[in-house]
Amino acid sequence: MTEITLEPSTVPAEAATRLSVAELKSRAAALLPELRQGAEDRERQRLLPHEPIRRIGSERLLTWRIPSSQGGSGASVRDVIQFVIDVASVDSNVAQALRPSFLFLEGLLASDDEAARQRWLPHYLNGELFGNAGWEVGGANGAISASLVREGDHYRANGSKYYSTGALYSDWVSAVAVDEAGHERRFMLPRDREGLELVDDFDAMGQRLTASGTTNLNNVLVREEDIVPHHLFAGGRTQRSIVTPYAQLFLAAVEAGIARNALDDAVAFARDHARPIKHSSASRSVDDPYVEFSVGEISARAFAAEAVVLRAADSIDAAWAGGLEESAITQAAIDVAQAQYMAAEAALKAAELLFDVGGASTTARKHNLDRHWRNARTVANHNPRHWKAAVVGAYRLKGSQPPLSGLF
Task: Provide the whole-model pTM.
Answer: 0.94
- For 74-124, what is each residue's pLDDT tens digit? 999 999 999 999 999 999 999 999 999 999 999 999 999 999 999 999 999
Alpha-carbon gap, residue 173 to 164, rounded angstroms: 9
Please, which residues have CB within 8 angstroms of residue 16's CB and are 6 or more apart in sequence? 71
**Which residue did the predictor score with more confidence, 2 or 326?**
326
How far from chain centre, in Å, is Cα 218? 28
Multiple choice CATH, 147-230, 2.60.120.380, 2.40.110.10, 3.30.70.100, 3.40.309.10: 2.40.110.10
Fold of 13-128: Butyryl-Coa Dehydrogenase, subunit A; domain 1 (1.10.540)
What is the location of CATH 1.20.140.10 in the chain? 243-398
What is the location of CATH 1.10.540.10 in the chain? 13-128
On average, the pLDDT of the chain sits at: 92
Confidence of residue 46 (pLDDT cuts 50, 70, 90): very high
Multiple choice CATH, 243-398, 1.10.1040.10, 3.40.50.300, 1.10.3720.10, 1.20.140.10: 1.20.140.10
User: H-type helices in 20-156, by residue range?
Assistant: 21-36, 39-45, 50-58, 77-88, 92-97, 99-110, 114-125
* Confidence (pLDDT) at 3: 52
Alpha-carbon gap, residue 299 to 259, rounded angstroms: 8
pLDDT of 278 above 80: no
3-state secondary structure of 308: helix
